[in-house]
Amino acid sequence: DTEVTQTPKHLVMGMTNKKSLKCEQHMGHRAMYWYKQKAKKPPELMFVYSYEKLSINESVPSRFSPECPNSSLLNLHLHALQPEDSALYLCASSQTRTYEQYFGPGTRLTVT
């Protein structure tokens, strides 16, 4: 089983809202990732967690706040977003940092 699940599938939020994206995997993977993908572009790495510790932050604005409560869960907390933050947000996981990554179906975020 190589399934990564993400909720919600779609999210529309105003610029003053606070919302969270959720990602879950039960493959025993110890590395988890958040990516942002704009239309017709490849995914762009945002954050990497390894063994529940943040190991990479790709200079992401503080209005995006990641959290890894345990080895199976990854959250992305959103606050005061801008319309240009509208995109497909993808979660991925891998056995460890140097193994192949498996992606979830994504959350389509629209900021109004």
Partner 1 sequence: GQQLNQSPQSMFIQEGEDVSMNCTSSSIFNTWLWYKQDPGEGPVLLIALYKAGELTSNGRLTAQFGITRKDSFLNISASIPSDVGIYFCAGQPFNTDKLIFGTGTRLQVFP
Question: Which residue ranges make up the site for partner 1 (CB under 8 A)?
Answer: 2, 4, 6, 31, 33, 40-45, 48, 50, 55-56, 58, 88, 90, 92, 97-98, 100-106, 108
Cα–Cα distance between 86 and 112 in angstroms, integer?
Answer: 9
**Parallel/antiparallel/unpaired status of strands 107-111 and 10-13:** parallel
Could you tell me the two tokens for 105? 């179906």
Q: How many Cα atoms within 13 Å fall on the side-chain side of residue 86?
A: 12
Cα–Cα distance between 60 and 22 in angstroms, integer?
Answer: 18
The residue (of 22 and 79) whose beta carbon lies closer to partner 1 is 22
Task: Kindly state the smallest distance separating residue 56's Cβ from partner 1, in Å.
Answer: 6
Cα–Cα distance between 108 and 49 in angstroms, integer?
Answer: 22
Task: Kindly state the smallest distance separating residue 26's Cβ from partner 1, in Å.
Answer: 17
The residue (of 66 and 106) whose beta carbon lies closer to partner 1 is 106
Task: Kindly state the smallest distance separating residue 55's Cβ from partner 1, in Å.
Answer: 6
Task: Kindly state the smallest distance separating residue 106's Cβ from partner 1, in Å.
Answer: 5
Cα–Cα distance between 28 and 18 in angstroms, integer?
Answer: 30
